[in-house]
Amino acid sequence: MKLLKSLTILSTSALIISSFVLPMSFGINSLGKGYNSPSAVPNDEIQEFVTAITAIKHYYISDTKDKTLFNNAISGMLTHLDPHSSYLDKEALKQMTSTVSGEFVGIGIELTVDKGALKVISPLDGTPADKAGLKTNDLIIKVDNTLVENMSLSEAISKIKGKKGTLVTLTILRPHVAKPIIVSIKRDTIKVVTVKTKLLDDHYGYARLSFFQGKADQELKAAIAQLKKATNNQLNGLVLDLRNNPGGLLNLSGEITDLFLDKNTTQRYKNLIVYTKGRIPGSDITIKAKPHDIIPNVPLVVLINSGSASASEIVAGALQDYHRAVIMGTKSFGKGSVQTVIPISKDTAIKLTTALYYTPSGRAIQAKGIQPNVIIPSLEIQKKDNGITLTEADFNRHLKNGSHKTDVQKSVTNKKSTDFELAQEDYQLFSALMMLKGLHSIQ
């Protein structure tokens, strides 16, 4: 079968949002020559497969459809490779390749599959899932009255999605919580606010980036300009908050990193921001900086946690390699792989892991994540849940490390918290502010 084109994905799951799919995680990419020259077909194994299909059709207690058997077989092959490879049936492929404007009906959550359950990477800020209290590392074991054990991600997502205003009931297992948690969530139109800003103190700014989509780079640049204006161009430090940011467009990770790099900084690694390496021609991608630091000489702290994945890890890793920012918080998720969607018929495809990506210094993120320069636990979260943290490395069949329209806040929030209030509300952010003040004092 001739491969005409494929889609390259940078995200933590096959379908980014459980009730909707954002167009931020894929772009056209050719696999190149060599696809039509596969290795020899294993005839003995193919014969075993045909024998199994024949036996099922002949002996199974009820009639089976050929299409269902073959779909399940393909799905089984892919789901046992790694947590991010999967089979996309007609409906799943339609959702993935559809172009949308920035508003979606759903519950607003990032998912993947692990150990037969749906694992929450992170709920998106302000969405029904976020308001319902879903957390990073929650395991969804039942959707309404249906167990999701060994269900494909696309099938599970189809059960979670629905019409605006209707309810979906999720049964959740949470680490170190004895009993399952049952929560009903009303599906709604999702409007992802990509960038939020505020002043932490008279001359210290805060920028929250929740998703890498749309024009996030331009929105972040405009938001930081507002912070500079609010401080009469005397911004003494900036916190870039990437906590629970599940990723998004690969190119945006480069554009956003660019905002904080200058020519002198990037010479160390020849302007590299990120590069990918894979087996097939066309899977090697290099993104280089076009340096234009919008806050030169201003101290920068980047906050990350176990919900920071993919594009978030690229930004944090590059800024760390170039010593442009101090990375604080807890270790990131460790999703350092790229998936490619390969059509296998006119309306179905397979999503296959085809490459790993690396920071400018050559660090592979896969299953290792980004280790902060300064580890700051989230004390509020630990107190409430006393839970454990799951990352990419905890997944069954995780890939080994290969080492070698979105609304933007129109104006800056001028309400500033006292240091004590900030420490009570968000200890990690308080610690970041203290770091910025220390860095500014020694400049």
Residue with tokens 């269902």: 68
The CA–CA distances, whole Å, from 198 to 201, 208, 249, 257 equal 9, 9, 25, 20
Decide: 27 and 96 in contact? Cβ < 8 Å: no
Among the listed residues 310, 337, 378, 431, the single catalytic one is: 310
Among the listed residues 201, 217, 293, 321, the single catalytic one is: 321
| β partners of residue 413 | 198
Rounded CA-CA distance 207/242 in Å is 9
b/e map of 38-56 (b: 16 or more CB within 10 Å)? eeeeeeeeeeeeeeeeeee
| Element (DSSP H or E) covering residue 159 | helix 153-160
Rounded CA-CA distance 349/342 in Å is 5
Among the listed residues 335, 368, 378, 426, the single catalytic one is: 335
Decide: 320 and 301 in contact? Cβ < 8 Å: no
Catalytic status, residue 101: no
Rounded CA-CA distance 409/249 in Å is 21
Handedness of CA 124, 337, 390, 397 (dihedral sign): positive
The CA–CA distances, whole Å, from 40 to 36, 51, 76 equal 12, 20, 21
Handedness of CA 33, 36, 40, 46 (dihedral sign): positive
Calculated CA dihedral for residues 128, 214, 391, 205, nearest 10 degrees: -90
Catalytic status, residue 310: yes
For residue 432, give every residue at least 6 positions away whose Cβ sits within 8 Å of its Cβ, in sequence order, or none: 239, 301, 303, 328, 376
Amino acid at the residue 396: N
Decide: 372 and 158 in contact? Cβ < 8 Å: no
For residue 215, give every residue at least 6 positions away whose Cβ sits within 8 Å of its Cβ, in sequence order, or none: 406
Rounded CA-CA distance 412/428 in Å is 21
Catalytic status, residue 288: no
Helices (H), ranges, 200-249: 216-230
Rounded CA-CA distance 155/76 in Å is 13
β 204-209/117-123 pair status = unpaired
Supply the residues annotated as catalytic. 310, 321, 335
